[in-house]
Amino acid sequence: GNLYAGDTQNTNSDAYTRSKYGDETNRLYRQNYALTWNGGWDNGVTTSNWVQYEHTRNSRIPEGLAGGTEGKFNEKATQDFVDIDLDDVMLHSEVNLPIDFLVNQTLTLGTEWNQQRMKDLSSNTQALTGANTGGAIDGVSATDRSPYSKAEIFSLFAENNMELTDSTIVTPGLRFDHHSIVGNNWSPALNISQGLGDDFTLKMGIARAYKAPSLYQTNPNYILYSKGQGC
């Protein structure tokens, strides 16, 4: 939790906001559970596996969502606190295989599965009609939009550490991600590590980065208005 010190997003205040000075206005709860299993064998093969569940609850006083009142406590809200609940499940498995072919190599193969589910009773409540709103949006319900959203990502990845010489390691890699909403993505990478004597190592690399969109970015029921600060 917190002790409210009077900060507001647009430096606006009123009697209701000032009455919250020193009060707890938001609370963050987090629970995390995980199981891990690592294995190793005489032939040099190793494996790393885990499953993780994380639950996060963001509980806060209702706030304005757009315009000059954005971030300001909403005195007219029907609830003292509203909750945003996020459930995140991650499954991960990888295996490292030593290979003695042409040069010493260590091949890593792995897979991941991630599911996120969110129930947001705060951010999805932006009105689309009536006074001090941005107006209706075609194809979007003005009321009763669902607070639920979810997405899943399935991934496969591989990389190979190749010792070309005692001081030179080349590591090509490739990752595939399938997002249940936005589709597929391929992320290749190539890294080189070159030893420069006993004290220095030069590392270089090039890769195509991928950042999965958040649940807000893929949720058609989440509306973000600008409206201008004075509206």
Q: What is the pLDDT of residues 110-125, one digit of tens each?
A: 999 999 999 988 877 7
**Domains plus CATH for the chain?**
26-207 (2.40.170.20)
Q: What does 110-178 look like in DSSP terms, one character per residue?
A: EEEEEEEEEEESSGGG---SSTTS----TTS-SS----EEEEEEEEEEEEEEEESSSSEEEEEEEEEEE
Length of the chain (residues): 231
Q: What is the pLDDT of residues 156-182, one digit of tens each?
A: 999 999 999 989 999 999 999 999 999
Q: What is the pLDDT of residues 38-93, one digit of tens each?
A: 999 999 999 999 999 999 999 988 777 766 666 677 766 777 888 899 999 999 99
d(CA 25, CA 75): 13
- Which residues partner with 101 through β-bridges? 103
pTM for the whole structure: 0.79
Task: Report CA-CA distances (Å) from 16 to 41, 72, 134, 138, 150.
Answer: 65, 10, 25, 35, 35
Which parts of the chain fold into alpha helices (H)? 15-18
